[in-house]
Amino acid sequence: MKHATAQSLDRLEALLTAIRALATLKEKSRGVFYLRSRAALHFHEDPAGLFADLRLVGDWQRLPVNSFAEQAVLMRELAKLPVD
């Protein structure tokens, strides 16, 4: 599974905008977000679709983000991030 291309990230622009609005994450490069100094979220693509790799604590968790419902699941997970 490869990292999401710019074209794939274009399809997620509304989601990326919502993530950018969160005070807890900082976007280091397009579609790559950090929590403090640690990578916390990035995106992948493969023939099955687009996926977010999220690390709240411990290991990475892979979540599909192809539909609005799947993106809502990701946003609910992001709401669990600690606020500084």
pLDDT in tens, 39-79: 999 999 999 999 999 998 889 999 999 999 999 999 999 99
Tell me the pLDDT of the chain averaged across its residues: 94
CA–CA distances in Å: residue 65 to residues 6, 9, 27, 83? 16, 11, 18, 24
Is-contact 64 49, C-beta < 8 A?
Answer: yes
